[in-house]
């Protein structure tokens, strides 16, 4: 029998070839998509499954006073993260329920079991269990030691324990508004903590280790470790002893006057260094919310009125007008003035604070008596353009540049919009608005031979190495220093301000032998959102420096809405007197021997 030849039809061969070709093409496309188009994504995803990456938090730098006393420090604590997917796999592998896991964790940390249990099912927006959920932060070492024992015994490798830090303020409400606070992430929220956040924060480190299928570290693999760089320390110009005096005096003033608030600033007038800054009422930095739920009330409590708020300064502003008038030679020491209790400007009667008037006066008299008509005359002689020039040169109408967050610029009437009536009222301290720090900086300019210096709190930023050694990485640099008035004019005004305290409206601030130069102020509170002023609401203030011919300290005092008497010479001057006496006693300085 002859073998039959099997005939393969060409159509079948072609069909088979086409099918295999299509399959090969599809496989090639999938391989290309997986290896090329999605290679990086899938590689990273796979890497995440067998790598444990832990962030190493740096230690936030400290904030210290000028003598190295700690005002804000960081304590070492811990935080716990959970890989919930790995926890789910663990429960399946070891036949354990999440309720049992929750009891173990809550028992070690002293947390509420229901709270822990409610967090073990958390998912992302795609419904996937979270791989790095933060369970708790700011945990003390003794609790972490218990948790580490549980992790070791139970093989809870889905728990990730990381270093964390907490911010501590050893003196509670000390320098509260200036220091500011940090949030849970250790980032500054306001104040110096916010302003110097970059220097204080440091740079986070990282630790990467390979894991096996049970999420345990492989002992034979190298661990990638980048050490955290701790933050730098910020050394302030603030003197803890002077700050304590200022706070004590402010507390007493708040109680005695039954006022809404008290603000005190103490500086070195020669270089703008802030030695103390107080706002009362204040708050405990270790419990900054103080149980307050209302956010608006909280923001008001945290508001640093020394730099964030502005008000019409009243007669303390007259130091600017008289300095400008002397510098421009539109007046002189033996100049004559007459006050009849008011001045009529373009048909509007503008009163002096003394209804019957002061009568005949010399230049020193209008300053000592704080005579409004006398200063309106100086303003008229200067004119809008020249007066505004000096107002801006003295630092009003723009942020002073102090190293604190939220500084107010103030409100200055533009020259081209200033009427004759505006000129009159601005000359004696109404219409324009300024912050306390701007007013004190203007006085400092006069007390520093006519040279403006920026008020500031940072003295230097210091780096600290592993061995505790320090090195200055950034000293304070003055950027806005300028000659505003001549030395002769400045010294003349300084002597006049000394006579204003020893003989005039500021005499309740007078202390024998200290040579205090100063000016009082009584400002009506403007009607916010409306016109005019609020009936019966005043801010009483005093600015001064001592000794007038070689100043060591300058002070600003304001009493917001005191009950009863409201004149600055009666309310604020005695507070300044007490400040000067205690500060000079603390400094051990006898001005007469300097």
Give the whole-angstrom CA distance, residue 489 versus residue 270.
Answer: 16
Give me the chain's average pLDDT, please. Answer: 88
Helices in 112-239 by DSSP H: which ranges? 113-119, 141-154, 176-179, 191-195, 197-201
The pLDDT of residue 219 is 47
Give the whole-angstrom CA distance, residue 407 versus residue 537.
Answer: 24
Give the whole-angstrom CA distance, residue 208 versus residue 201.
Answer: 22
Q: What is the pLDDT of residues 5-21, one digit of tens each?
A: 555 556 766 777 777 77
Catalytically active residues, by annotation: 315
Element (H, E) at 462: strand 458-464
The pLDDT of residue 126 is 84
The pLDDT of residue 222 is 53
Q: Looking at domain 240-287+305-450+485-588, which of 3.40.630.10, 3.40.710.10, 3.90.180.10, 3.10.290.10 is its CATH number?
A: 3.40.710.10
Identify the residue whose tokens are 């009936």. 535
Assign 415 a pLDDT band (cuts: 50, 70, 90).
very high
The pLDDT of residue 242 is 97
Q: What is the pLDDT of residues 277-299, one digit of tens each?
A: 999 999 999 999 888 888 899 99
In the numeric block, which tokens belong to residue 441? Answer: 């900086």
The pLDDT of residue 592 is 53
Assign 591 a pLDDT band (cuts: 50, 70, 90).
low
Q: Name the 3-class secondary structure at 387.
A: helix
- Higher per-residue confidence, 242 vs 465: 242
Assign 243 a pLDDT band (cuts: 50, 70, 90).
very high
66 CB burial (10 A radius; 0-12, 13-18, 19+): middle
Give the whole-angstrom CA distance, residue 445 versus residue 455.
Answer: 11
Judge whether residue 47 has pLDDT over 60: no
The closest of 331, 250, 314 to 537, measured between CA atoms, is: 314
Considering the entire predicted model, what is its pTM? 0.84
Average pLDDT over residues 527-541: 83
Average pLDDT over residues 169-182: 96
Judge whether residue 50 has pLDDT over 70: no
Query: What's phi and psi for 212, nearest 5 deg?
Result: -90, -170
Average pLDDT over residues 153-178: 90
Greatest mean pLDDT among 107-116, 205-214, 324-333, 559-568 lies in: 324-333
Average pLDDT over residues 385-400: 97
Judge whether residue 220 has pLDDT over 80: no
Average pLDDT over residues 324-347: 96
Hey, where are the domains in the chain? 54-236, 240-287+305-450+485-588
Q: Name the 3-class secondary structure at 191.
A: helix
Judge whether residue 95 has pLDDT over 60: yes
Task: Compute, in degrees rounded to 10, the torsion defined by CA atoms 541, 547, 548, 552.
Answer: -80
Query: Which fold, 54-236?
Result: Penicillin-binding protein 2a (Domain 2) (3.90.1310)
The pLDDT of residue 233 is 94
Give the whole-angstrom CA distance, residue 27 versus residue 14.
Answer: 20
Query: What's phi and psi for 57, nearest 5 deg?
Result: -70, 135
């Amino acid at each position: 029998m002859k073998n039959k030849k099997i005939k393969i039809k060409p159509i079948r061969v072609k069909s088979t070839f086409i099918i295999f070709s299509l399959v090969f093409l599809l496989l090639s496309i999938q391989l290309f998509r997986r290896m090329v188009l999605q290679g990086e994504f899938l590689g990273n995803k796979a890497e995440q499954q067998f790598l444990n990456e832990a962030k190493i938090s740096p230690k936030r730098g400290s904030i210290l006073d000028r003598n190295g006393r700690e005002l804000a420090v960081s304590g070492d604590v811990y935080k716990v993260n959970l890989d919930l997917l790995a926890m789910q796999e663990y429960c399946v592998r070891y036949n354990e329920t999440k309720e049992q896991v929750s009891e173990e964790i809550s028992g070690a940390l002293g947390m509420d079991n229901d709270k822990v249990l409610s967090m073990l099912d958390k998912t992302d927006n795609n419904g996937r269990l979270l791989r790095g959920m933060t369970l708790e932060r700011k945990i003390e070492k003794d609790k972490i030691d218990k948790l580490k024992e549980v992790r070791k015994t139970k093989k809870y490798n889905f728990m990730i324990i990381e270093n964390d830090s907490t911010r501590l303020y050893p003196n509670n409400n000390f320098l509260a508004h200036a220091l500011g606070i940090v949030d849970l992430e250790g980032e500054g929220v306001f104040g110096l903590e916010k302003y110097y956040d970059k220097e204080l924060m440091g740079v986070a480190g990282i630790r990467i280790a390979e894991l096996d299928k049970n999420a345990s570290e492989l002992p034979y693999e190298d661990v990638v470790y980048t050490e955290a760089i701790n933050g730098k320390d910020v050394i302030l110009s603030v003197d803890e002893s002077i700050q304590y005096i200022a706070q004590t005096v402010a507390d007493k003033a708040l109680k005695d006057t039954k006022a809404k608030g008290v603000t005190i600033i103490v500086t070195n007038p020669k270089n703008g260094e802030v030695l103390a800054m107080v706002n009362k009422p204040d708050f405990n930095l270790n419990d900054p919310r103080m149980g307050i739920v209302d956010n608006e009330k909280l923001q008001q409590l945290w508001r640093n009125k020394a730099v964030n708020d502005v008000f019409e300064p009243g007669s303390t502003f007259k130091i600017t007008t008289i300095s400008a008038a002397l510098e421009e030679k539109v007046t002189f020491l033996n100049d004559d003035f007459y006050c009849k209790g008011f001045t009529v400007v373009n048909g509007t009667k503008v009163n002096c604070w003394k209804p019957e008037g002061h009568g005949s006066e010399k230049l020193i008299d209008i300053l000592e008596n704080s005579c409004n008509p006398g200063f309106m005359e100086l303003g008229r002689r200067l004119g809008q353009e020249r007066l505004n020039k000096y107002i801006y040169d003295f630092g009003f109408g723009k942020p002073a540049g102090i190293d604190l967050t939220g500084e107010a610029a103030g409100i200055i009437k533009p020259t081209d919009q200033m009427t004759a009536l505006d000129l009159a009222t601005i000359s004696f301290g109404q219409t324009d608005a300024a912050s306390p720090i701007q007013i004190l900086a203007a006085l400092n300019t006069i007390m520093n031979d006519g040279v403006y210096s920026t008020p500031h709190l940072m003295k230097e930023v210091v780096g600290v190495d592993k061995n505790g050694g320090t090195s200055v990485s950034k000293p304070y640099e003055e950027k806005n220093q300028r000659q505003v008035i001549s030395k002769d004019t400045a010294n003349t005004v300084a002597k006049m301000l000394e006579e204003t305290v020893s003989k005039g409206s500021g005499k309740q601030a007078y202390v024998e032998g200290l040579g205090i130069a100063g000016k009082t102020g009584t400002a009506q509170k403007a009607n916010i959102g409306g016109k005019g002023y609020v009936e019966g609401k005043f801010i009483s203030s005093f600015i001064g420096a001592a000794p007038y011919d070689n100043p060591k300290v300058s002070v600003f005092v304001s009493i917001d809405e005191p009950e009863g008497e409201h004149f600055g010479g009666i309310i604020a001057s005695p507070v300044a007197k007490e400040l000067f006496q205690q500060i000079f006693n603390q400094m051990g300085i006898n001005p007469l021997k300097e």
